[in-house]
Amino acid sequence: MSQSYNRGLVEDFGRWREFSAGMWAWVFHKFTGWVLVGYLFTHIAVLSTALSGPAAYTGTIRTLEGLLVVRVLEVGLLAVAVFHILNGCRLLLVDLGVGLERQDVSFYASLILTGAIVVASVPTFLAGVSL
Amino acid sequence: MSERYSSFEPGGRRWLWQRVTAAFLVVVLAFHFFLLHFVHHADEVTFAMSAGRMETLSYYSLMVLFLLTATFHGVNGVYNALVNTGLSGRQRTAVKWTLVVASVVLIVQGIRTANAWAGISLV
């Protein structure tokens, strides 16, 4: 017979001290998901300047990419996207029942790999911008 | 008996589609980032370069599919997160339809933009 558990409110972040690796993976996946969906709407809004003609679009992108703060935010976006992708692969494996007993290790691997990819990408993302 | 603890309805297809779109998006999102930040650099973007890519049918259709799947995956994720906070009844219905309308607006705007680059005029 299966047991019944009282897990409390799902979104009770006040219990963060009790969180295990899997719970942190869930929190990070949720946070990065909110950022990515927010960015999706912003991204389409910025790209929509193409509807006003070539000059408006090229000018808007060039102006934005000339700002250091935008480049730094893009590095942040890369970090968020890479973690969401890697942890998403981990979740797909978990859903298929693959490597369930090592899901905490794959979460740590996702974090380390995200950090490595982001650090290695910083020169590319900041190339050509001045302070 | 164990509690059923999920934001997805039994027998529903949204659970499956969230996973199907995820499998597609992990590949296409990585491709999108790689192409537009490493092959081409963001500060070299011009309307002509974007148009050149979007005039290719394979790229145009991939980007439209990317828009559709990303919108579904993102908005469905937001809906699930809100349901997990205990949203129910009329509030839940209102949130659902607000998200549906936001998705339709985003998709229409995205396709209009892609069409502007591809030189497709519908009206």
pLDDT digit string (tens) for B40-84? 988 888 999 999 999 999 999 999 999 999 999 999 999 998 988
Name the pLDDT band for A23 (thresholds 50, 70, 90). confident
Sign for the CA dihedral angle at A110, A116, A119, A121 comes to negative
Name the pLDDT band for B2 (thresholds 50, 70, 90). low
Q: With an 8 Å Cβ cutoff, are B29 and A81 in contact?
A: yes
Contact B39/A at CB under 8 A = no
Name the pLDDT band for B31 (thresholds 50, 70, 90). very high
How close is the nearest chain B Cα to the Cα of A101, in Å? 21
The closest CB to that of A50, out of B30, B50, B77, belongs to B50
Residue B5 pLDDT exceeds 60 = no
B-chain residues near A34 (CB < 8 A): 78, 81
Predicted confidence at residue B1, as pLDDT, reads 43
Contact B13/A at CB under 8 A = no
Residue A1 pLDDT exceeds 60 = no
How close is the nearest chain B Cα to the Cα of A12, in Å? 9
Residue A128 pLDDT exceeds 60 = yes
- Residue A83 lies inside a defined structural domain of this protein: yes
Which tokens is A56 given?
Answer: 């408006």
Q: Which CATH architecture has domain B14-118?
A: Up-down Bundle (1.20)
Sign for the CA dihedral angle at A61, A67, A71, A74 comes to negative
Which tokens is B62 given?
Answer: 């991939």
Q: With an 8 Å Cβ cutoff, are A40 and B41 in contact?
A: no
Contact A62/B at CB under 8 A = yes
Q: With an 8 Å Cβ cutoff, are B19 and A127 in contact?
A: no
Instruction: Identify the CATH number of the domain in which residue A94 sits.
Output: 1.20.1300.10
Alpha carbons A47 and A93: distance in angstroms, whole number: 34
Q: With an 8 Å Cβ cutoff, are A58 and B46 in contact?
A: yes
How close is the nearest chain A Cα to the Cα of B48, in Å? 7
Question: B67 with B110: CB under 8 angstroms?
Answer: yes
Structural domain tally of chain A?
Answer: 1
- Residue A107 lies inside a defined structural domain of this protein: yes
Q: Which domain holds residue A88?
A: 21-126
Name the pLDDT band for A129 (thresholds 50, 70, 90). confident
Q: Which of A18, A112, A35, A19 is closest to A74 using CA atoms? A: A35
Residues in Cβ contact with B70 at an 8 Å cutoff, skipping those fewer than 6 apart: A40, B21, B25, B29
- Residue A106 lies inside a defined structural domain of this protein: yes
Q: With an 8 Å Cβ cutoff, are A34 and B117 in contact?
A: no
Chain B residue at shortest CA distance from A75? B37
B-chain residues near A89 (CB < 8 A): 26
Residues, chain A: 131
Average pLDDT over residues A6-13: 60
Q: What is the pLDDT of residues A50-107, one digit of tens each?
A: 999 999 999 999 999 999 999 999 999 999 999 999 999 999 998 888 988 888 899 9
B-chain residues near A59 (CB < 8 A): none
- Residue A14 lies inside a defined structural domain of this protein: no
Q: Which of A115, A103, A54, A8 is closest to B45 using CA atoms? A: A54
Predicted confidence at residue A3, as pLDDT, reads 58
- Residue A4 lies inside a defined structural domain of this protein: no
